[in-house]
Amino acid sequence: MVCDVCLLGGGHSHVLMIRRWAMQPLPGVRLTLVSSAVATPYSGMLPGLIAGHYDVDEMHIDLRRLCTWAGIRFVEQTAIALDLATRQVEFEHRPALAFDVLSLDTGSTPDLSVDGSSEHVTPVKPVNDFHNRWLQILDRLNQPHSGPVSVGVVGSGAGGFELVSAIRHRLPVELATVHWFLRQDAPLSGRPVRVGTLALAAAKRAGINVITRFDVNRVEAGRLIATDGREFELDEILWCTAATGPPWPEAAGLATDSRGFVASNAYLQSISHDFVFAVGDIGTQLETPSAKAGVFAVRQAPYLYENIRRYLLGEPLKRYRPQADFLSLMATGGKRAIASRGPLVIEADWVWRWKDRIDQNFMRKFRDLPSMRLNASVQRLPDALRSRFLDGVSGSESPVGNMRCRGCGAKVGAPVLERVLASLDSPGLVEASLLYAPAGDTAVLEMQSTMLAQSVDHIDAIIDDPYLLGKIAALHALSDVVTVDADVHSAQVMATVPGGSDATVERELRQLMTGLLEVLAEERCTLAGGHSVQGDELSIGIVVNAVLNQRSEAGAEGSKRLKGVTAGDVLIVTKPLGIGTLFAGLAQHDARGEAVNAALAVMLTSNRRAAQLLRSSGARFMTDVTGFGLLGHLQRLADGLQTGARVRVDHVPLLSGALHLARQGVRSSLWPQNRQVLTDIDIAASVSAEQLALLCDPQTGGGLLAIVPEPARQGCLDSLHLAGYADASVIGEIVSESRLSLH
């Protein structure tokens, strides 16, 4: 990789461009999609969702699944600012993301400039926030003895009409009154008069109370106030007015139009910064401005794809000309719609079926992702990128080519490494009072005469976000050490980053090390040094050192830890299983992004506090559940005991979506080895094949397995739940028979 393209926002143009890029990527270019949510809504189906014609999954595109399929990095985060001088996207809770080219497709927001609107209305965008509020309204109406509610929609455009019509269709007349507030006598200005006439007739036919010439001047809690003094009291005020641009483009120094949208040229480039592109609602072409409608975003996608490629290759860009007119399809609440283009206006049931077919075909592009085989011949780095991003180095002298040095020749260069280390400001870095480094790769630790616990772990890039990978790897490596009564002391790291230009290697290493150091600081562990190399794929290994508090702690799974285990002691796990299956499903483009997010949340939860609570509850033994799976670790425990254990399979906590994938036959690549433990276990007929698969599922960043005295059972669970380990469960007990059994 020699350069980075950042796609900020999961809008229609970007998702279509990603699909196109996956079919024909540009070698040497790394794409990263940044979105505040793992699923992005298709706005054309929002009225159908509100009306009850579609469910949430039908109208959302799973961005993590799409990006995994396309080979594009996905970062779920909300950007707070742009630094165009250093070319970075800034976030509140993670390091900035550097880029060479930036594309914006973040959409627009309703205009909340009316006094009181920002405090007292629910805007229709962002769609996810609006939908959450809509669910609250439905829940309120479903409560016993719920009184009627009055809902008002402010907005005279197509969005306002479709929203108010969908709400009226969904809410029973006896439970809700629905009002539509228009600024003028008729809605949908700028369209043929007949469109507004049909929309008004449909609204009144549906029982919507249409209030005309109501120019909202102020909003108070539960009240709209017009410029002519009229007031209207409502239980819910939904805002679907004209769109406006967010404040951050102008704050970043981008040229904007009068409404705050990024001003762009005919090539979809910012007129002030040629390395920034703006598509969808966030951009306004100054020469040929168009309405803020999804149809334009869809048509911009192939031009965005082509122009980013051409910009990187130094070729002439392709001019985008928006169509002068477009087909508009507006649902009227039920399965009926109004179609208009130019002077032609039609309302009919078949128009809704036409609209539904168009929407379903669009979403099918992202549900039914084709399998692809990438031709190795397209992996050659283009000469234009080589000369532009590798400082003119070409031919066999280039560090990026078909042949890469191995051994010490693969090390990350000293200048890059020094810049990364200098940029890291973390208390987890080396402290002179603890150690010194007489040689570049050697750390000498000044320790008291005591016993040292040491653990090593190495993982590859289970997630393509290097910042999250650094955090997960650190927590995973520390997990072994926290199971013994020891104070974590220091760590060393071995990092492999994908080969590329100095800029891309530096960016990757900085993100990885920042995540690692944040965890080490939280876990009170000092980074004592390490080593870094360039390779084919991102991976990280960590050695952790800890000072034992008691000499008897030697051997995390040694016999001394097993003294006192008796029949009746309970088995407790602190985190749900299914991590390996979910990520195997993600690699096969079957796992849902939200389910993977839940797995990531588990992986990013430290086991340190859980270990402390288990120890204070008198735990006789504990270990972390990692690559061998729950049964593999339990079998190793049984080998050191004179007794056996009974596991109640239905009590084992599982991650959402893991059982579904297991039923589909999704298995981790380690499943054939891990399953061998089943030959030594008594298994009841009621235990299913998918349950067995998850009990053998390898866990990266998994929880702890502990043996706790039965009297301490409830107190231990209560303390774990209170500390945030919501899925901690008793899964079985120690028995006198010297076998493991599953029931």
Q: Where are the alpha helices (DSSP H) in 430-528?
A: 466-482, 502-522
Identity of the amino acid at 123: P
Calculate the alpha carbon distances from 574 to 597, 606, 668, 684, 728 in Å.
Answer: 18, 11, 22, 24, 4
Calculate the alpha carbon distances from 642 to 174, 303, 566, 734 in Å.
Answer: 69, 70, 9, 10
Calculate the alpha carbon distances from 663 to 68, 666, 669, 691 in Å.
Answer: 22, 7, 16, 9
Q: In this structure, are residues 567 and 643 in contact, taking their beta carbons and an 8 Å threshold?
A: yes
Distance CA(726)–CA(720), nearest Å, equals: 7
Q: In this structure, are residues 302 and 317 in contact, taking their beta carbons and an 8 Å threshold?
A: no
Q: Which of 512, 532, 409, 508 is CA-nearest to residue 470?
A: 512
End-to-end C-alpha distance for the chain, whole angstroms: 51
Task: Reduce the secondary structure of 179-218 to three states and give it as a string.
Answer: EEECCCCCCCCCCCHHHHHHHHHHHHHCCCEEECCCCEEE
Determine the Cα angle at 719 with ends 715 and 720, to 5°.
115
User: CA torsion sign, 92 to 98 to 104 to 105?
Assistant: negative
Burial of 738 (0-12, 13-18, 19+ CB in 10 A): exposed
Strands lying side by side in the sheet with 223-226: 216-220, 223-226, 231-233
Distance CA(112)–CA(357), nearest Å, equals: 34
Determine the Cα angle at 464 with ends 461 and 467, to 5°.
90
Q: In this structure, are residues 8 and 79 in contact, taking their beta carbons and an 8 Å threshold?
A: yes
Tell me the two tokens of residue 209. 């109370």
The backbone torsions φ and ψ at residue 299, rounded to the nearest 5 degrees and listed phi first, read -75, -20
Strands 29-35 and 73-76: parallel
User: Of 3, 67, 405, 408, which is the active-site residue?
Assistant: 408
Q: Which of 214, 239, 205 is CA-nearest to residue 338?
A: 205
Strands 149-154 and 236-239: parallel
Strands 337-341 and 344-348: antiparallel
**Following DSSP, what letter does each residue of 651-689 receive, concatenated?**
GS-B-TTHHHHHHTT---TTHHHHGGGGGGEEE-TTS-H
Calculate the alpha carbon distances from 179 to 87, 117, 133, 170, 233 in Å.
Answer: 47, 17, 18, 14, 11
Distance CA(156)–CA(173), nearest Å, equals: 22
The yes-or-no answer on residue 408 being catalytic is yes
Indicate which residues carry an active-site annotation: 408
